[in-house]
Amino acid sequence: MRALVAALVLSFLSAPVDALEVFACEPEWGALVSELAGEQARVTVALTAFQDPHRLQARPSLIASTRRADLVICTGAELEVGWLPLLLRRSGNPNVRPGAAGYFLAADYVRKLEVPTRLDRSQGDIHPQGNPHVHLNPHNITRIARKLAQRLAELDPMNADVYEQRLDDFVERWHAAIVVWENRARRLEGLIIVPHHRSFTYLADWLGLDVIATVEAKPGIPPSGAHLSRLLEKLNVVAPAAVVRTPYANEKPTTWLAERLDTPVLVLPYTIGGHEDVTDLFTLFDTTLTLLENLQP
Amino acid sequence: MKQLRYTITYLCGVGLLYGNAALCATTDPIADLRREVLDLRRGYDARIELLEARIAVAERAANRARSSAAEAVEIAEDAVIGATTGSASANAFNPGMGVVLVARAADIGHRWDAIPGFISGGESGPGKSGFTLGESEVNLKASIDDLFFGNVTFAFEDEDGETEIALEEAWLETTALPPGLTIRAGRQFSGIGNLNSFHRHADDFIDRPLPYQAFFAGQYIADGVQARWVAPTNLFLELGAELDWGSGLPASGSDDTSPGAWSLFAHTGGDVGASHAWQAGVSYLSADVRDRGVGEDGPGEAPEFTGDSDLVVVDFVWKWAPLGNPTRTNFKLQGEYFRRVEEGTFDGMQIDTDQSGWYLQGIWQFIQGWRVGYRHDRVTTDNGSIFLGTLLEDVDESPRRDSLMLDWSHSDFSRLRLQYVYDQVLTESDSQWLLQYIMSLGAHGGHRF
pLDDT digit string (tens) for A207-262? 999 999 999 988 888 898 999 999 999 898 888 999 999 999 988 999 999 999 99
B42 lies in the same domain as B119: no
Pairing of strands A265-267, A192-195: unpaired
Chain B hits for A99, Cβ within 8 Å: 146
Q: In a 3-state reduction of DSSP, which class is residue B130? A: strand
DSSP-derived letter for residue B181 is E
B232 lies in the same domain as B274: yes
Kindly identify which residue of chain A lies nearest to residue B440, measuring between CA atoms: A121
Helix, strand and coil content of chain A, in percent to the nearest 5, comes to 55, 10, 35
Q: Which of A11, A91, A121 lies at the smallest CB-CB distance from B234? A: A11
* pLDDT value at residue B23: 47
**Residue A85 and residue A270: Cα distance in Å, rounded?**
24
* pLDDT value at residue B247: 76
Judge whether B447 lies within some domain.
no
The shortest C-alpha distance from A129 to chain B (Å) reads 11
Size of interface A-B (CB pairs under 8 A): 154
Choosing from B36, B62, B87, the residue where a domain stops is B87
**Cβ distance A49 to A270 under 8 Å?**
yes
Kindly identify which residue of chain A lies nearest to residue B67, measuring between CA atoms: A143
**Residue A211 and residue A188: Cα distance in Å, rounded?**
13
What average pLDDT does range A174-188 have in this prediction? 93
Enclosing domain of residue B79: 2-87
The residues with which B133 forms a beta bridge, in sequence order, are B103
**Residue A32 and residue A173: Cα distance in Å, rounded?**
13
B106 lies in the same domain as B167: yes
B17 lies in the same domain as B114: no
Does the distance separating the beta carbons of B230 and A92 come in below 8 Å?
Answer: yes
For the cut 90, the answer to whether the pLDDT of residue A104 exceeds it is yes
Give pLDDT tens digits for A147-172.
999 999 999 999 999 999 999 999 99
* pLDDT value at residue B150: 95
* pLDDT value at residue A268: 97
Cα B358–Cα B319–Cα A13 angle in degrees, nearest 5? 105
Q: Which amino acid is at B200?
A: R
| HSE-CB of B1 using CA atoms within 13 angstroms | 0
Q: How many domains does chain B have?
A: 2
Judge whether B341 lies within some domain.
yes
Q: Which of A85, A143, A248 lies at the smallest CB-CB distance from B70? A: A143
Choosing from B64, B87, B110, the residue where a domain stops is B87
**Cβ distance A135 to A73 under 8 Å?**
no
At the topology level of CATH, where does A2-178 sit? Rossmann fold (3.40.50)
Does the distance separating the beta carbons of B234 and A55 come in below 8 Å?
Answer: no
B68 lies in the same domain as B197: no
Does the distance separating the beta carbons of A92 and B177 come in below 8 Å?
Answer: yes
B106 lies in the same domain as B72: no
Judge whether B449 lies within some domain.
no
The shortest C-alpha distance from B167 to chain A (Å) reads 22
The shortest C-alpha distance from B108 to chain A (Å) reads 34
Q: Which of B74, B173, B325 lies at the smallest CB-CB distance from A52? A: B325
For the cut 90, the answer to whether the pLDDT of residue A284 exceeds it is yes
> Which residue ranges in chain B fall short of pLDDT 50?
1-2, 4-5, 7-26, 70, 74, 80-88, 296-298
Query: With respect to CATH, is domain A188-295 assigned 3.40.50.1980?
Result: yes
* pLDDT value at residue B440: 93
Chain B hits for A59, Cβ within 8 Å: 269, 271, 277, 279, 319, 449
Does the distance separating the beta carbons of B237 and A91 come in below 8 Å?
Answer: no
B288 lies in the same domain as B141: yes
Judge whether B435 lies within some domain.
yes
Q: What percent of chain A has pLDDT above 90?
A: 80
The shortest C-alpha distance from B439 to chain A (Å) reads 12
* pLDDT value at residue B67: 53
The residues with which A273 forms a beta bridge, in sequence order, are none
What average pLDDT does range A260-278 have in this prediction? 95
Cα B85–Cα B88–Cα B89 angle in degrees, nearest 5? 155
Does the distance separating the beta carbons of B270 and A64 come in below 8 Å?
Answer: yes
B56 lies in the same domain as B132: no
Band the pLDDT of A65: cuts 50, 70, 90.
Answer: very high
Q: Which of A57, A68, A81 lies at the smallest CB-CB distance from B449? A: A57
Q: Which amino acid is at A136?
A: L
* pLDDT value at residue B180: 95
* pLDDT value at residue B65: 58
B52 lies in the same domain as B115: no
* pLDDT value at residue B304: 80
Does the distance separating the beta carbons of A92 and B179 come in below 8 Å?
Answer: yes
* pLDDT value at residue B14: 47
* pLDDT value at residue B149: 94
Judge whether B374 lies within some domain.
yes
Choosing from B25, B54, B87, the residue where a domain stops is B87
Nearest by Cα to B132 from B161, B164, B153: B161
* pLDDT value at residue B167: 93
Kindly identify which residue of chain A lies nearest to residue B269, measuring between CA atoms: A60
B81 lies in the same domain as B101: no
* pLDDT value at residue A200: 96
Band the pLDDT of A16: cuts 50, 70, 90.
Answer: very low
DSSP-derived letter for residue B448 is B
What average pLDDT does range A64-90 have in this prediction? 95
Chain A hits for B229, Cβ within 8 Å: 92
Q: Where are the domains of chain A?
A: 2-178, 188-295
CATH number of domain containing B315:
2.40.160.10
**Same CATH fold, A188-295 and A2-178?**
yes
B44 lies in the same domain as B174: no
B307 lies in the same domain as B427: yes
Mean pLDDT of chain A: 91
